[in-house]
């Protein structure tokens, strides 16, 4: 029973860092953790990380397909 509890994911998966986090915001259909949100806000447009964030944020507008 304890192995089931330790393997259970708590939180939601961040669309940027792809880690399971407890706190963050929902943007359209995706979740962004507070750590990535803060880092994105502080990133300058000439920083290489800026392009990385832009590419990750393109996934935010992709609708999920439910069958």
Q: DSSP readout, 3-66?
A: HHHHHS--SEE-TTT--EESSEEEETTEEEEHHHHHHHHH--TTSHHHHHHHHHHGGGGSPPP-
In a domain, 18, yes or no: yes
In a domain, 41, yes or no: yes
In a domain, 50, yes or no: yes
Residue 25 belongs to what domain range?
2-61
In a domain, 66, yes or no: no
Count of C-beta atoms within a 10 Å radius of residue 18: 10
In a domain, 10, yes or no: yes
In a domain, 67, yes or no: no
Total of domains in the chain: 1
For the stretch 39-67, pLDDT in tens is 999 999 999 999 999 999 887 876 667 66
pLDDT at residue 2, rounded to an integer: 44
In a domain, 9, yes or no: yes
């Amino acid at each position: 029973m304890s192995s089931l509890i330790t393997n259970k994911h708590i939180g939601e998966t961040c669309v940027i860092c792809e880690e399971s986090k407890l706190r963050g915001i929902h943007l359209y259909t995706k979740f962004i953790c507070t750590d990535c949100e803060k880092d994105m806000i502080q990133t300058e447009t000439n920083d290489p990380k800026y392009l990385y964030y832009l590419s990750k944020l393109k996934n935010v507008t992709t609708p999920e397909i439910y069958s």
